[in-house]
């Protein structure tokens, strides 16, 4: 009888404290601690796909493939964020942090939401840039464009489509859930930045020309 009561208390405690401490991203459902690290690793990749670190989907670490150096992307760990931000400019580091913080807020929002995942509506989720509440089947949801996205115009909206079957619209070879962020991009700014980089490359080619001529003449 005694042990039974104790067991009941334990089970009740577990229900109260451990229930639904899971958050959802486009890659799946994870325990909060794993979700935080995982989302933050993907923030780095989605914002800066060309940089040194790449996320490892199994260990939730960020890794540099060329020398095997790995780091656990915990934004509360100063030495870890220091290592990660060493590969970014300070402006980029701020953007990455904002994305990680937004992913954490999204998890909190998911845990507080009372919507039950009954398979009839699209589940509340973090898509890598933004947080989505549960979607009605056959409708489109909107959120403000994230301010940490490069060339993003925060006054515009990203959109996500909930299919009639209660699943988010998917795209690509892996059929991952897909959000339309194209309305967020300011093509003017993007164009200017491309012109500037092409201009710089032409300028550096022109600067190189005399040295090539000199090299050919005097070799
Ligand atoms: C790996 O390379 C990065 C720079 O790309 C460097 O900061 C880091 O110290 C290196 N790690 C090891 C273990 O060599
Ligand atoms: C913080 O990150 C560093 C470098 O990744 C790691 O060695 C250390 O164990 C971490 N500290 C904590 C408290 O997790
Ligand atoms: C929802 O769907 C999943 C698989 O698609 C199934 O395992 C689960 O039992 C369903 N839940 C409900 C409440 O229908």
In tens, the pLDDT along 117-154 reads: 677 899 999 999 999 999 999 999 999 999 999 888 88
- The ligand that comes nearest to the alpha carbon of residue 82 is 2
Apex 60 CA angle, 45 and 48, nearest 5: 10
- The ligand that comes nearest to the alpha carbon of residue 62 is 2
pLDDT of 13 > 70? The answer is no
Rounded to 5 degrees, φ, ψ at 76 are: -90, -5
CA separation (Å) from 208 to 5, 136, 204, 214, 219? 83, 59, 6, 10, 16
Is residue 52 in contact with ligand 1, taking CB distance under 6 Å?
yes
Rounded to the nearest integer, the mean pLDDT of the chain is 85
Is residue 91 in contact with ligand 3, taking CB distance under 6 Å?
no
Q: How many angstroms separate the alpha carbon of residue 119 from the centre of ligand 3? A: 6
Q: Is residue 73 within 8 Å of residue 51, measured between CB atoms?
A: no
Q: How many angstroms separate the alpha carbon of residue 25 from the centre of ligand 1? A: 30
Give the residue from 166, 164, 155 showing the smallest Cα distance to 124: 166
For the chain, give every domain's residue range: 10-185, 188-219
CA separation (Å) from 35 to 43, 80, 104, 200? 12, 17, 8, 41
Atom of ligand 3 minimally distant from the CA of 118:
13
Q: What is the CATH T-level fold of the domain 10-185, as seen in this structure?
A: Hormone receptor fold (4.10.1240)
């Amino acid at each position: 009888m005694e042990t039974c009561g104790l067991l009941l208390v334990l089970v009740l405690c577990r229900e109260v404290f451990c229930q639904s401490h899971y958050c959802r991203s486009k890659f799946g459902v994870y325990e909060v601690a794993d979700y935080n690290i995982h989302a933050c690793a993907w923030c780095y990749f989605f914002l800066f796909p060309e940089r040194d670190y790449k996320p490892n989907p199994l260990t939730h670490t960020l890794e540099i493939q060329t020398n095997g150096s790995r780091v656990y992307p915990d934004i509360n760990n100063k030495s870890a964020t220091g290592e990660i931000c060493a590969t970014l400019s300070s402006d980029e580091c701020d953007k990455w942090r904002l994305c990680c913080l937004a992913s954490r807020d999204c998890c909190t929002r998911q845990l507080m939401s009372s919507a039950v995942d009954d398979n009839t509506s699209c589940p509340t989720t973090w898509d890598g840039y933004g947080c989505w509440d549960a979607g009605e089947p056959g409708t489109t949801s909107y959120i403000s464009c994230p301010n940490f996205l490069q060339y993003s115009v925060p006054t515009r909206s990203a959109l996500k489509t909930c299919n009639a079957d209660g699943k988010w619209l998917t795209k690509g070879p892996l059929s991952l859930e897909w959000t339309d962020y194209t309305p967020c991009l300011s093509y003017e700014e993007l164009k200017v930045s491309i012109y500037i980089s092409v201009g710089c490359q032409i300028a550096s080619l022109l600067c190189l020309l005399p040295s090539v001529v000199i090299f050919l003449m005097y070799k």
